[in-house]
Amino acid sequence: MQYRPLGTTGLQVPVIGLGTMTWGEQNNLQQACEQMDYALKRGVNLFDVAEMYPVPPRPETVGETERCIGEWFAQSGKRAEVTLATKVTGRAEQKQSGLSHIRGGTRLSRGHIRRAIEGSLERLQTDYIDLYQVHWPERATNYFGARGYRHQPESDGISIEETLVALSELVDEGLVKHIGISNETPWGAMQYLNLAKQHNLPTVISVQNVYNLLNRQYETGMAELCVRENIGLLAYSPMAFGVLSGKYLNNQKPSGARLTLFDRFTRYDSPQTLAATEAYADIANRQGLSLAQMSLAFVCQQNFVASCLIGATTMEQLKENIDAAEVVLSDEVMAEIEDVHNAYPDPAP
């Protein structure tokens, strides 16, 4: 397994990281433990979770993913071998459906962050988090597929400074080693960086944003900023909710698959996305590659990616995904991928 630096901290993370958001919903505890055992044996020692997982978020299951990891730590005794990343849920006021069961509506204030970290530490059965991330911004901006920015300063809410100060307190107390952001924009990332410099606070070392063959918007703005500022990308959804496995082509709806089970996931469901996926599948077939491995290898080969966060519901998928770390795409394949990208630029938001 190849490892890459995360920020300037000296922390090294595997180019393939283990995403976990199906555990407690599509996967039970035994299956989650089997995945963690196998991943660690393969050198995948970055586990990424969030207090609101599993997805889709429900009051009956919230926190179950962290509990799965905590149980595995307790049974295996391997906490020290893992770089553990979790997230504090972004702003979701009580009136919003889906997340009102978390602290009665989540905010990124000092009090909410304190309650969030205490809950995560208890569920994870650990006394520290290696990387604590803000899951999405407090303010109204573009994330989770939103296009067409509308400036709404009246909805800014808790300031980034208050959030950063609250996170710095956790670092000072040893509860958190490093901090990161997620679903952020260039403006938001620069605010965190500038405030850290101005007030001598911990700086963010990572950003976890979507990046895959169907959504390469990170390359516009965020990539340059993060390379220049030594912020590593933890690329999430590199398989576009499984669409880039090809399993949904030809109107297939595999039993147990995420897009079969949950109709709330429409981000990758459009004629343009389908056409692009078919074109990428054609490249993979002609090159003797699986679409899944080609998709993951493409993400891993980007110089701004610190780790590509995979997620699997079966051991077969997990093994194939981790194997992608060993796949090197030729210049020819990369050129063909660019041709498709130019024909269907970022079809998924």
Structure tokens belonging to residue 97? 């459906």
Residue 260 scores a pLDDT above 70 = no
Q: Which residues pair with 129 in a beta bridge?
A: 176
CA 156 to chain centroid, in Å, comes to 24
CB of 245 closer than 8 Å to CB of 291: yes
Residue 332 scores a pLDDT above 60 = yes
CB of 314 closer than 8 Å to CB of 258: no
CB count, 10 Å around CB of 167? 28
pLDDT band at 249 (very low <50, low <70, confident <90, very high): confident
Q: Which domains does the chain have, with CATH numbers?
A: 3-343 (3.20.20.100)
- E-strand spans in 35-115? 46-48, 83-88
CB count, 10 Å around CB of 100? 15
CA atoms within 13 A of residue 167's CA, in its CB half-sphere:
30
pLDDT band at 259 (very low <50, low <70, confident <90, very high): low
pLDDT of residue 200: 97
Residue 202, preceding bond cis, omega within 30 degrees? no
Q: Average pLDDT of the chain?
A: 93
Task: Give the whole-angstrom CA distance, residue 218 versus residue 136.
Answer: 15
Task: Give the whole-angstrom CA distance, residue 315 versus residue 1.
Answer: 18
Task: Give the whole-angstrom CA distance, residue 153 versus residue 281.
Answer: 43
pLDDT of residue 93: 75
Residue 40 scores a pLDDT above 80 = yes
pLDDT of residue 268: 77
Q: Name the residue with higher pLDDT: 250 or 337.
A: 337
Task: Give the whole-angstrom CA distance, residue 344 versus residue 166.
Answer: 42
Name every residue whose Cβ is closer than 8 Å to that of residue 100 and which is 6 or more positions away in sequence: 92, 93, 94
pLDDT of residue 266: 63
DSSP string computed for 126-171 = -S-EEEEEE-S-SSS---TT--S----GGG--S-HHHHHHHHHHHH
Residue 67 scores a pLDDT above 60 = yes
Residue position matching structure tokens 């009580």: 94
Residue position matching structure tokens 């990332």: 189
Structure tokens belonging to residue 249? 């082509």
pLDDT band at 255 (very low <50, low <70, confident <90, very high): low
- The rounded percent of the chain whose pLDDT value lies above 90 is 84
What is the pairing mode between strands 3-5 and 12-14? antiparallel
Stated as kind and residue range, the H or E segment containing 18 is strand 16-19
Residue 56, preceding bond cis, omega within 30 degrees? yes
Tell me the backbone φ, ψ of residue 165, rounded to 5 degrees: -60, -40
Task: Give the whole-angstrom CA distance, residue 150 versus residue 60.
Answer: 34
Residue 258 scores a pLDDT above 70 = no
pLDDT band at 184 (very low <50, low <70, confident <90, very high): very high
* pLDDT tens per residue across span 189-244: 999 999 999 999 999 999 999 999 999 999 999 999 999 999 999 999 999 988 99
List residues with catalytic annotation. 53
* pLDDT tens per residue across span 77-134: 999 999 999 999 999 876 555 788 899 899 999 999 999 999 999 999 999 999 999 9
pLDDT of residue 16: 98
Task: Give the whole-angstrom CA distance, residue 46 versus residue 124.
Answer: 14
Residue 282 scores a pLDDT above 70 = yes
